[in-house]
Structure 1
Amino acid sequence: MEEQTFRAYSQKQAQAYLSGRGQDNENLFGVICEHHASTGGHFGTLLDLGCGPGNSTRPIAKHFERAYGIDASEAMIATGIEVGRNAVDGETKTGGKVEYKVGRVDEDTLKLKEEGIEIDLIIAGMAAHWFDLPKFWEAAGRALKRGGTVALWQYPSLACFHPSMPNAMEATAILNRLIEVDTGEFEKPGNRICREAYHNLCMPWDVSPPVAGFSREGFKRMEWDREGKLSSGDHFFLGDKATTVQLVYEGICTSSMVQRWREGNPQLADTDEDVAVKAIKRVRELIGREEVIAGRDCVLLLFKKS
């Protein structure tokens, strides 16, 4: 089930991912850090697995003394390093830089342990569904400190339009159809696990034998704004973003299923018959304007190491 699309990214694609996906929202990191602290976690070392160009690593690293990011893609890691190099300020709370490395989730997590580095918090945003999960859980169980936390999250929908927008639910449904139907023949098992909101993600107690140190009692699942239906109040939990239909389109073009569809249909890619082009055209027709307010739904899984 190992992911190959992002692993083979060029530098240009990694840059497009960096800008198209955008930085994750502080509300999410606030929930993670509050849960981590309230359940006995410390803020020494952060490890971001499947970190990409560091979209999640950078905003949460400021809460930790040290931060590491591991990804299988050389281009993603090179982009993350370049962003850190150009940053005016330090990225961790001690003023240090995030240390990025090309590597495997399980092997390189254990290498940190062998080097005497114990991890307080392991995160994986939009990535765990691509892991060899039995190996990941074994490595996490060995490398994570007692009282440490594993936080895994994903966004089931490509994008959600704010209910104040005309035909918002219908426009959101079109983007969901893009990954559920239009590009369905290019779906990988990891895509399905993501689309099913991690209900079928392999848990540490599902591994044979179960990974010691993680209990069902210490597990917590949280969801917000599924398919654009606001969970509380008038705003997306992860923030309302004033953006454009074009920028939403650029974001959905980073979907691995859209990219595999284009690789399988090169004669149609970026033409009027491109599935993503057709989807965003219909979105424009429904909303009737270029400026939009968009957000993300989110599923977060939290695990504690005893």
Structure 2
Amino acid sequence: MSHTIPAPTLPLTEKTFSSYNKEQGSAYFKVRPDYHPTLYQFVVDQHTSTGGQFDTLVDVGCGPGLAARALGPRFASVIGLDPSEGMIETARSLGGVTSTSDPIRFERSSAEELGGVKDSSVDLITAANAAHWFDMEGFWPAAARVLKPGGTVALWTSGDIHAHPSMPNSAAIQATFETYQATHLEPYYVPGNRLTRATYRTLPLPWTLSQPVEEFEESSFVRKDWEADEPFFVGESQLSMDIFELAISSGSAQVRWHQAHPDLVGTERDLVKILRGEVERLLHEAGVEKGKEFVRGAVLGAVLIFKKKL
């Protein structure tokens, strides 16, 4: 007889993605592009610049496992952690292997607990577009506990949506994005959304907490801001309107708007449909033919690197 082991009860600071089931996790994966190899290489270069090793990687808030799978072949052991049962089920179904050909472990845990990770056992901790959902007062002590001396924490965010300057009518389209956010999504923003919009400039750091985590060195902190023409994601920077609509719909504030207005989802009164229509109108105004509309995005994100003292 088989027995189902109940999922652990976790303290959650994020209420949208953490409640996703496997179907929602799979849908999220389909519209979220992976990060560009140059971003991963930047993280690896920063890790090795101070003698970082490649024994164990822990990807926190791993979602469907993008970063864990991308960096996995460099590390002998890889663990992906996420509080969402649906995200973990999706990550497990997609798989991934380490440098020793062992499967990546995907487990359900909060960032504040880092459950199942041994003390002083981890070389690199990553959090890809996830740290804004953590309780940093809990995460930083947990990270200090599991990291080896000299280990690295790499956090990154893609920030807000921007129209690339090369896009037809880009200034007007950018103004439309900003109006859309300020007028319609503002009531659905939570503190995590505001952290991403500020590209983690207001993220609580180990030395800014009410009880500083002294294991991390402020002097070794590195921040890299991405420019408009630096690739942050893989794939085409030019999105079809259908993909643009799906991507916008996957944002947490937009998900909360949809949850609050289920009768409007997919109708002409859906905020995403309205935004798409306005962008298409501005493209037509600039001479783009009907049926050839596109959005070229500029990602002005950031990567933050922290080192644990030797």
Taking structure 1 as the reference length, the TM-score comes to: 0.88
- How far the C-alpha of 1:12 sits from its partner, in A, is 2.1
- Asked whether the 8 Å contact 2:156–2:303 carries over to 1, the reply is yes
Give ranges in structure 2 of 5+ residues lacking alignment. Answer: 1-11
Cα pair distance change 1:176/1:24, threshold 3 Å: farther
Return 5+ residue gaps in structure 1 as ranges. Answer: 85-89
C-alpha distance 269-132 of structure 1, shift in aligned 2 (>3 A): same
- Residue 244 to residue 131, structure 1, CA distance change in 2 (3 Å): same
Once residues 263 and 307 of structure 2 are traced to their aligned partners in structure 1, the CA distance between those partners, rounded to angstroms, is 49
Which region of structure 1 is more displaced relative to structure 2, 26-35 or 272-281? Answer: 272-281
Q: Aligned runs of 1:161-200 on 2, under 5 Å?
A: 161-200=163-202
Residue 108 (structure 1) shift:
2.7
2:250 matches 1:254: yes
| Distance of 1:266 and 1:2 partners within structure 2 | 24
Offset of residue 220 of structure 1: 0.9
8 Å CA contact 1:246, 1:290 repeated in 2: no
Amino acid at match of 1:276: V
Offset from partner CA, 1:89-145 (integer Å, 9 cap, x none): x62222222100011112235x3125xx71111011111111111110000011111
Partner of residue 36, structure 2: 25
Please point out which of 58, 75, 78 is paired with 2:86. Answer: 75
- AA aligned to 1:142 is R
1:177–1:3 distance in 2 versus 1, CA, 3 Å: farther
Q: 2:154 maps to what in 1?
A: 151
Among candidates 62, 68, 84, match of residue 73 of structure 2: 62
Of 187, 191, 203, the match for 1:201 = 203
Contact 1:179–1:257 (CA<8 Å) still a contact in 2? no
C-alpha displacement of 1:262: 1.0
Query: Which amino acid in structure 1 is aligned with residue 168 of structure 2?
Result: P
Distance 1:154 1:177, change over 3 A: farther
Deviation, 1:196, is 1.5
- Residues 187-196 or 252-261, more deviating: 187-196
Shift of 1:285: 2.1
Higher Cα radius of gyration = 2
Q: Distance in 2 between matches of 1:32 and 1:169?
A: 32
> Cα deviations across residues 158-199 of structure 1 (Å, max 9, x unaligned)?
3x4443321234334433443343211111111111112111
* Secondary structure at the counterpart of residue 105 of structure 1: coil
Find the aligned partners of 1:108 and 1:40 in 2 and give their Cα distance: 24
The corresponding residue for 1:93 is 99
Q: Percent identity?
A: 35
- Amino acid aligned to 1:23: D
Q: Does 1:237 align with 2:231?
A: yes
Query: Is the 8 Å Cα contact of residues 158 and 232 (structure 2) preserved in structure 1?
Result: no
Q: Distance in 1 between matches of 2:89 and 2:279?
A: 34
Task: State the SS of the aligned residue for 1:183.
Answer: helix
Q: 1:205 to 1:11 in 2, by over 3 A?
A: same
Given that residues 178 and 276 in structure 1 are in contact (C-alpha distance below 8 angstroms), is that contact kept between their aligned partners in structure 2?
Answer: no
Q: CA RMSD, aligned part only?
A: 1.9
For the residue of structure 1 that corresponds to 2:26, the secondary structure is: helix
Give the drift of 1:291.
4.3
Partner of 1:112: 117
CA distance in 1, matches of 2:138, 2:111: 8
Equivalence map 1:223-302=2 (5 Å): 223-225=225-227, 230=228, 235-238=229-232, 240-287=236-283, 288=288, 289-302=292-305
- State the partner residue of 1:133: 136
Q: What amino acid sits opposite 2:170 in the alignment?
A: A
Look up the SS of the partner of 1:56 in the other structure: helix
Letter paired with 2:62 = C
Q: TM-score, normalised by structure 2?
A: 0.87
Paired with 1:14 and 1:175, the residues of 2 have a C-alpha distance of 26
